[in-house]
């Protein structure tokens, strides 16, 4: 879904247009020659190119860089465009937003942000349980004191949001013979994956898998995420070409 006509979504070296599959796609072209594309469904980075190394990501419906662990909470089609920012501090930025309710009625808001630099791409994910916001709004509308029992019942229906595998994932091209650990690693201080360095914040536990010349990774929270009303989980990664 688009909040504005496509032709108005221009920001310096960035634009949004319909991709080959007919879905909105953001294109960011950095003056250095780096470029990336973000498909709105799933808020997925489908391409990241460097002026010297060419395409870095793996193509395919489930490849690229994207949020993970939100299945059953946020559908790929729930994402909308939030903002598109031209060159600022040597970085181009594109962000998306989703606002949904789970099957149990838990109100959820989520946001992603992709930043592109000369030799770096970053992705940020934030997910919030907005139950507390809804309760505050409902109580502001209440006038009759006799409704206290009804308000109490509404509070009891504000449930926690379980996100046991929430985080960010990606698929990169790599050199044959690249070594990856078999056990999850802490990437908060950075890990070298062939010619690319992966740094994480928040989603610090990284699971890696190598299939030929394709490296798959998942950056997850170090423990299971259970968001109470009013709580937010956030995390990010940087991929830096070495």
What lies within 8 Å, CB to CB, of 160 at 6+ separation is: 106, 129, 226, 227, 228, 229
Rounded Cα gap, residues 105 and 158, in angstroms: 8
pLDDT exceeds cutoff 90 at 62: no
Ranges 46-55, 78-87, 144-153, 224-233: which has the least confidence: 144-153
- Cα 225 to Cα 235: distance, rounded to the nearest angstrom: 12
Q: For residue 63, what pLDDT band results from cuts at 50, 70 and 90? A: confident
The count of C-alpha atoms lying within 13 angstroms of the C-alpha of 160, restricted to the half-sphere facing its C-beta, is 9
Helix (H, G, I), strand (E, B) or coil at 114: strand
Give the model's confidence band at 133: pLDDT under 50 very low, under 70 low, under 90 confident, else very high: low
For 182, phi and psi rounded to 5 degrees? -85, -20
The CA distances from residue 86 to 9, 31, 196, in Å, are 11, 11, 25
pLDDT (0 to 100) of residue 51: 87
């Amino acid at each position: 879904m688009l909040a504005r006509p496509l032709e108005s979504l221009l920001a310096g070296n960035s634009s949004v247009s319909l991709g080959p599959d007919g879905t909105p796609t953001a294109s960011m072209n950095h003056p250095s020659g780096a470029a990336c594309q973000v498909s709105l469904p799933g808020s997925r980075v489908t391409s990241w190119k460097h002026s010297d190394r060419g395409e870095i990501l793996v193509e395919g419906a489930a490849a690229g860089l994207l949020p993970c662990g939100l299945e059953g909470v946020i559908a790929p089609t729930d994402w909308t465009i939030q903002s598109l920012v031209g060159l600022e501090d040597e970085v181009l930025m594109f962000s998306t937003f989703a606002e949904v309710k789970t099957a149990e009625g838990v109100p959820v808001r989520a946001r992603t942000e992709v930043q592109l630099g000369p030799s770096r791409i970053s992705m940020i994910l934030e997910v919030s349980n907005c139950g507390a916001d809804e309760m505050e709004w409902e109580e502001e509308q209440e006038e009759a004191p006799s409704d206290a029992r009804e308000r109490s019942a509404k509070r009891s229906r504000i449930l926690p949001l379980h996100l046991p595998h929430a985080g960010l994932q990606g698929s990169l091209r790599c050199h044959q013979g690249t070594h990856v650990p078999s056990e999850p690693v802490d990437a908060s201080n950075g890990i070298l994956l062939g010619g690319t360095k992966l740094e994480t914040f928040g989603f610090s536990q990284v699971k890696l898998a190598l299939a030929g010349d394709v490296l798959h990774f998942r950056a997850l929270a170090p423990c299971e995420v259970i968001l109470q009303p009013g709580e937010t989980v956030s995390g990010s990664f940087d991929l830096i070409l070495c």
